[in-house]
A and B are shown apart, each in its own frame.
Chain A
Amino acid sequence: MHILLIEDDQSIADYIKKGLTQENHIVEHYSDGKDGLLVAATETFDVMIIDRMLPNIDGLTIIRTLRASKINTPILILSALSDVNQRVEGLKGGANDYLTKPFAFSELSARVTILGQNQVQQAQISKLNVGDLSLDLLSHKVTRESQNIDVQTTEYRLLEYLMRHANQVVSRVMLFEHVWDYNFDPKTNVIDVHMSRLRKKVDKPFKTPLIHTIRGSGYVIKKP
């Protein structure tokens, strides 16, 4: 993916750049708000990562300007301001996601990947498939090897989110945010317990597991 990074802290910028480049993304970095906005408005990117506090023009203004000029590139705000209100403000301003510093790189990577993919995905699909596992979005039926799997509401939502982002690492916080719709890091292993329940139903009775734990990062569902 082609990623724009506007971040004035050189060490964080280098670190993000290095990490994302290793994952085969192309990263363009600007440390000044004005330069960043100029590039963002004239070039095309798959995802933008923008710090909130920048010299000359602050991150939120950049985002508002871009949205006003109908540039709908997915944007992730990176900020030291962890206040929930700040987050709400950022998302209202047009950002697609919000990550507070300090952050784990895996969290950033997972979020950026999903932001990039969101554009490609169509909302019209009625069935999600990963290997021999399929999830019917209309009837809410889950089947594997043509066997019905009885899942509860929460399990269904977890599986749906994982399958919508198949082959991508999904962090626990992302699962918590999307499945339960609360915006904070619960910092507990409750999500893991939910996941292990889901895996008991989806993976355990079958030969090959589809859901994998990426320790320290989260979960991924992928074809064997």
Chain B
Amino acid sequence: MSLKNLKKLTHNSTLRLALSYLSVFIFSSLILVAFIYWSSIEYIYKQLDHHIRYDMENIQNLYQNEGKDKLIDSITERLKQQSYDSVYLLYDIKLQKKLAGNLSSIPKTLDNGWHMVALDKISTSSHHKTHSARILITPLSTQLILINGLDMQSAHQQEHIIINNMLLGIVIIFILGLMGGFIVSINTIKKISLINTTMQKVGDGHINLRLPIDGSDDEFDLLAKNFNQMLARIQILMDKMQNISNNIAHDLRIPLTRIRNRLESIQQQIESKSETYNKQNNDNSALSDVEQNIEDTDNLLATFETILNINKFESGVQKLNIQSLSSKKLLSDLIDYNEPMASDKSIEISAEQLEDHIFPGDQNMLFLALANLLNNAIKYTPNKGVISVSSRLTSRACKNQQVETEYLEIVIADNGLGISEQDKSRVFELFYRCEKSRSLPGNGLGLTLVSAVINLHKGMIELDDNQPGLKVSIYLPLL
């Protein structure tokens, strides 16, 4: 797994979920292990105590039945027989004397009951360590005290074995849990990241992409199915919308042209009448109404034609007439064409960085697109503003690709209103108009047309802040 993937993993919510499950799992395992540990240890000590008490009772019985001397013999005997870690001491309080046993020193307290004492090994001389021993102090008579017990070494050893085994168990549980979590989350990550990348592509405009369905009918399959259904529905709606605007534009164009032509003939009739009958009468309100109507119909027709053009470009019906173009000629023509509009607003169009490069493109379509952009720049730049048009070669990575290719970069930058960040992604939509420009004349089609033309050329278009103003960069491939 590469470093990038690993980084992605740690930032992944599925992994976080897996880890939190793992921690809950480990926490409960720890509680279980602790419980087992304590109960085992308790059992060991109980057994130990039981053994000591039993031994004590035997000795007590022996003493009551057969007396002190026999008892001393028996303890000495026991010590000889029992190789394991028994501890004995028969002590005479009055004489302050040890009668029998292997405990080297007298315990500090001689209160009845259970005690722990440090044990200097004298009996089991194999180990020269100090251990602790558990002892039971029992008075046999007013004079005699019996101390019997067991060296804790073996119990401690058992305890260590239990702890070690349990630690090993915890490590195994942790490793298995972690592995399981990773396996589960990697699987989920894979499926989710597939959904993610597909959705991203769909968002980029590849609306005909669909998520793969593996037929397992699990939640992911269901999710994919629902997504696909949703996408299909969106596509249908989009097509419908596009078709509707296209059909409206197409069907209304012909009757509108007829209306326009009739208006024109009315205009001619009024003109000829006013020429022949009352030349001096200057009441031309009918004529100017008709002329206004013609102008409005022309605007409507222009809007319809733009919609139809956008549709043609976007659907790929329109084929480009690719020729070798000179960037300098195209842009000079463009500036020359728009210059009077700019000079009416005392806007200076600077074309200082206009490099001449030959590139393939459709002259008419590109002129149409660029004229739209320059026209916008002039429209939204205040009086005495500056617009710069430049062109140069640049190499950059194409969308979704690592390889850098060479492009002709055309930049039109103004210092006008600019486009707000949230509008940037939407200005290329059909009929979209920015809040700031709603008051100005326009139909919200210009940039849609521009992006359709640039896409048809397999180019890219980018909008940046010119601080203040808008900087539009167009990248056209040189291939």
Contact = CB atoms under 8 A, between A and B. Distances in A.
Interface stretch (A48-56, A61-69, A113-121, A189-197): A189-197
B193 interface: no
A216 B298 contact: yes
Nearest to B267: A216
Given A154-B336, A215-B294, A15 B261 contact: yes
Which size class do B's interface residues fall under?
Answer: 35 or more
Given A102-B257, A216-B267, A197 B340 contact: yes
Nearest to B368: A184
Interface in A174-224: 180, 182-188, 190, 193-194, 196-197, 215-217
Contacts, number: 77
B315 to A, nearest CB: 13
Nearest to A11: B258
Interface in B367-411: 367-368, 371, 375
Contacts of A196: 340
Contact of A106 (B254, B264, B302): B264
Specify which of A15, A19, A187 lies most central, judged by the most chain B CB atoms within 10 Å of its CB: A187
Given A215-B291, A216-B295, A105 B340 contact: no
Contact of B371 (A85, A102, A154, A186): A186
Contacts of A19: 261, 265
Contacts of B257: 102-104
Nearest to A18: B265
Given A85-B319, A104-B260, A180 B337 contact: yes
A190 to B, nearest CB: 6
Which size class do A's interface residues fall under?
Answer: 20 to 34
Nearest to B375: A188
B49 interface: no
A216 B364 contact: no
A182 B294 CA distance: 25
A149 interface: no
Given A187-B302, A216-B291, A194 B321 contact: no
Contacts of A106: 264
A125 interface: no
A101 B337 CA distance: 26
B440 to A, nearest CB: 14
A184 B364 contact: yes
A105 B259 CA distance: 11
Given A104-B257, A216-B294, A194 B367 contact: no
B364 A183 contact: yes
A216 B340 contact: no
B74 interface: no
Given A85-B319, A190-B337, A194-B340, A105 B261 contact: yes
Query: Closest 10 A-B residue pairs measured CB to CB?
Result: A102-B257, A187-B302, A216-B294, A193-B340, A215-B291, A105-B261, A184-B364, A182-B367, A102-B254, A197-B340
Given A215-B294, A216-B298, 14 more contacts: A19-B265, A85-B321, A102-B258, A105-B261, A106-B264, A182-B363, A184-B364, A186-B368, A186-B371, A187-B302, A188-B371, A190-B340, A194-B340, A216-B263
8 contacts: A104-B261, A104-B264, A153-B336, A184-B368, A190-B338, A193-B340, A215-B291, A215-B294
